[in-house]
Amino acid sequence: MPYTQEELQELDWYQNLIVEDEERYLRNKELLMLRAAISGSTVDDTTALTRDSSNAVLLFEDPYQNQILEDPSTKIIHNTQVKRLKTKEGDTMVYQIISRTFSEL
Write out the residue range of the structural domain in which residue 73 sits: 5-77
Question: Which of 15-19, 76-80, 101-105 bottoms out in mean pLDDT, i.e. has the lowest?
Answer: 76-80
DSSP 49-75: PEE-TT-PEE--EETTTTEE--SGGG-
Examine residue 92 and state whether it is found in any structural domain, yes or no.
no
Examine residue 42 and state whether it is found in any structural domain, yes or no.
yes
Question: Based on the structure, what is the number of domains in the chain?
Answer: 1
Q: Where are the beta strands (DSSP E) in 7-105?
A: 42-43, 47-48, 50-51, 57-58, 61-62, 67-68
pTM above 0.75, yes or no: no
What's residue 16's pLDDT?
A: 93
**Phi, psi for 47 (deg, rounded to 5):** -80, 120
Examine residue 59 and state whether it is found in any structural domain, yes or no.
yes
Q: Helix, strand, or coil here: 78?
A: coil
What is the tens place of the pLDDT at every residue in 25-74?
A: 889 888 887 877 776 655 544 345 677 778 787 788 888 888 887 776 67
